């Protein structure tokens, strides 16, 4: 079997970011489980913080800049996805949702997805089930059962408690579920179709025709 492509989308805004830290730990655990199952995996991280302006431009103009186009293509061609967002006002961040909005509506159909989030207190963890899971279910993704939330207190002991309810335990369980859903899948071919550049004058003519 060919190498699997695992893409990690993280919407952390600060540097350093607990959202990026959680994303990295989930990716490492998933890759480790896949390799233990005999599958090779390439991990790519898409950090939305650096694409914020490109995402806004695309929402206004409908034309993705090259860096955003590359990130969208990576998500479309991924065999599996880890999506991590900070929680603001009991839901995913605006940056995270804006990136999802630029994806093709069929981009995640049937794709295994692990959802995760960070927030100041554990009470925000409900956003995973009331906001993130419905979003990805609407996009027809195959969301794994375990979602991972990391509150500020989870990092106090570095999330390394031995119990299954610790952050480390939740990461291990969710990563195992994603790895299991990916281990038997053939890798998605990474295509690079030739892009047809339509002259701007022709685009304007088509708009006038409508």
Please state, in angstroms and rounded to a whole number, the distance separating the CA atoms of residues 175 and 187. Answer: 18
Please state, in angstroms and rounded to a whole number, the distance separating the CA atoms of residues 114 and 146. Answer: 8
Task: Output the pLDDT for position 89.
Answer: 87
Task: Output the pLDDT for position 189.
Answer: 62
Task: Output the pLDDT for position 153.
Answer: 86
* Bridge partners (DSSP) listed for residue 41: 4
Task: Output the pLDDT for position 120.
Answer: 80
Residue 42: both structure tokens together = 């390439």
CB atoms within 10 A of CB 110: 8
Please state, in angstroms and rounded to a whole number, the distance separating the CA atoms of residues 147 and 117. Answer: 8
Task: Output the pLDDT for position 20.
Answer: 96
Per-residue pLDDT of the chain (210 residues; tens, 9 = 90+): 689 999 999 999 988 889 999 999 999 999 999 999 999 999 999 999 999 999 999 999 989 999 999 999 999 999 999 999 999 988 999 999 999 999 999 999 999 999 999 998 777 888 999 999 999 999 999 999 999 999 988 876 554 444 567 899 999 999 999 999 999 877 766 554 434 444 445 555 555 554
* CB proximity list for 110: less than 8 A, separation 6 or greater: 140, 141, 142
Task: Output the pLDDT for position 198.
Answer: 47
Task: Output the pLDDT for position 196.
Answer: 44
Task: Output the pLDDT for position 15.
Answer: 83
Residue 99: both structure tokens together = 């990136």
Which of 119, 129, 46 is CA-nearest to residue 82?
46
Please state, in angstroms and rounded to a whole number, the distance separating the CA atoms of residues 88 and 119. Answer: 8
């Amino acid at each position: 079997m060919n190498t699997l492509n695992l893409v990690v989308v993280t919407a952390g805004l600060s540097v350093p970011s607990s959202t990026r830290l959680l994303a990295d730990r989930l990716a490492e655990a998933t890759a480790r489980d896949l390799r233990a199952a005999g599958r090779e995996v390439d991990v790519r991280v898409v950090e939305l913080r650096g694409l914020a302006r490109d995402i806004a431009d695309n929402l206004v103009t409908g034309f993705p800049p090259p860096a955003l186009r590359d990130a969208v293509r990576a998500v479309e061609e991924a065999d599996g996805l880890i999506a991590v967002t900070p929680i603001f006002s009991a839901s995913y961040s605006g940056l995270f949702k804006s990136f999802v909005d630029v994806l093709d509506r069929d981009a995640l159909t049937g794709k295994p997805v692990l959802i995760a989030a960070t927030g100041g207190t554990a009470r925000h963890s409900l956003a995973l089930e009331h906001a993130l899971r419905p979003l990805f279910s609407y996009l027809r993704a195959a969301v794994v059962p375990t979602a991972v939330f990391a509150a500020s207190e989870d990092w106090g002991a570095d999330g390394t408690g031995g119990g299954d309810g610790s952050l480390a335990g939740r990461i291990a369980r969710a990563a195992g579920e994603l790895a299991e859903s990916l281990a038997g899948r053939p890798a998605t071919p990474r295509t690079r179709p030739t892009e047809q550049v339509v002259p701007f004058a022709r685009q304007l003519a088509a708009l006038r025709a409508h």
